[in-house]
Amino acid sequence: MSAVLDRANSDVVLIVDDVPDNLSVLHDALDESGYTVLVATSGEAALQRAAQAVPDIVLLDAMMPGMDGFEVARRLKADKLTANIPIIFMTGLTDTEHLVAALEAGGVDYVTKPIKPKEVLARMTVHLQGARLARQTRNALDAFGYASIAVRASDGRLMWQTPLARDLLAAYYGTSAPETPAPILDWLRRHLREAERDIEPPRLSAELGARRLSIRLHQQTGDDDWLIVMREVSDAAVIESMSLAFKLTAREAEVLYWVVKGKINRDIADILGASPATVKKHWSASSRSWGLRRARLRLEWR
């Protein structure tokens, strides 16, 4: 279904309300404003439509028979496909405990009933712009190999993550949103005072075989939310980059990599499962092509 929606020219809004009159008023106002509008009259239908269409924003009635809006929001946030969609609650409940419950369930904002379409449109514009900027930023970070997550320090909830971050956390820690891996959460809380004084804390690292994950605290994004950036380094990835950069064969790049790391021929032979003579041959070929000095100048090794 999402493939036929006109996302190039309009944002997709899902309205969830069990009262037909509310749906009608909002549908007409949003349609006239150029939005593509989807509707659902129950919690179950809302989850189904959201999974099919992946809307850009959800307007969600808090109190519905059966599955209420709070549970709908929690399920949307627990699904990686819909976790980053901003949710605006629509509620006739104005008690502080209900408004807090709406935000804790994953809502970014709320409007009170009776609904005022102009107010809804104004709030939607703000959150859509924020979501669009956040999405562009996350995609750019992923494209350059920098995975990112946002963590709420007080309760340890993983608020959002990039696709690359999701894969890395599953591989290194076996966790998934909204759970933040315990080592990352402990590290964050241990260094909060430094971070609040704009002192970057020491980086956290994790290892998975030959793969290594470097984790750093980037910045505070809210009162209690922190942006954490991760980047993976693996021997294989570095060797592949060397091969492309210096136009070496895969084996020549492997030998050059371990030489730059300070290994001697005998050690390299053991690592690669080759004879010292074979290692010497590949080293001679790679050094003739580019020279060890040039390799040391052009590459940074840690």
Residues 64 and 164 reside in one and the same domain: no
Residues 107 and 190 reside in one and the same domain: no
Residues 119 and 64 reside in one and the same domain: yes
- Residues in the chain with pLDDT values less than 50: 1-4, 292-302
Which residue range is the domain that position 164 belongs to?
144-234
Predicted pLDDT at 295? 46
Residues 152 and 203 reside in one and the same domain: yes
Q: H/E/C letters for each residue in the chain?
A: CHHHCCCCCCCEEEEECCCHHHHHHHHHHHHHCCCEEEEECCHHHHHHHHHHHCCCEEEEECCCCCCCHHHHHHHHHHCCCCCCCCEEEEECCCCHHHHHHHHHCCCCEEEECCCCHHHHHHHHHHHHHHHHHHHHHHHHHHHCCEEEEEEECCCCEEEEECHHHHHHHHHHHCCCCCECCHHHHHHHHHCHHHHHCCCCCCCEEEEECCEEEEEEEEEECCCCEEEEEEEEEEHHHHHHHHHHHHCCCHHHHHHHHHHHCCCCHHHHHHHHCCCHHHHHHHHHHHHHHCCHHHHHHHCCCC
Q: End of a domain among 137, 166, 201? A: 137
Q: End of a domain among 137, 172, 200? A: 137
Predicted pLDDT at 168? 93
Residues 128 and 172 reside in one and the same domain: no
| Domain containing residue 294: CATH number | 1.10.10.10
Residues 100 and 179 reside in one and the same domain: no
Q: End of a domain among 137, 172, 199? A: 137
Residues 27 and 133 reside in one and the same domain: yes
| Domain containing residue 10: CATH number | 3.40.50.2300
Predicted pLDDT at 281? 80
Q: With respect to residue 240, please indicate whether it lies within any of the assigned structural domains.
A: no
Predicted pLDDT at 290? 52
Residues 49 and 113 reside in one and the same domain: yes
Predicted pLDDT at 93? 75
* pTM greater than the 0.85 cutoff: no
Domains: count for the chain: 3
Predicted pLDDT at 243? 77
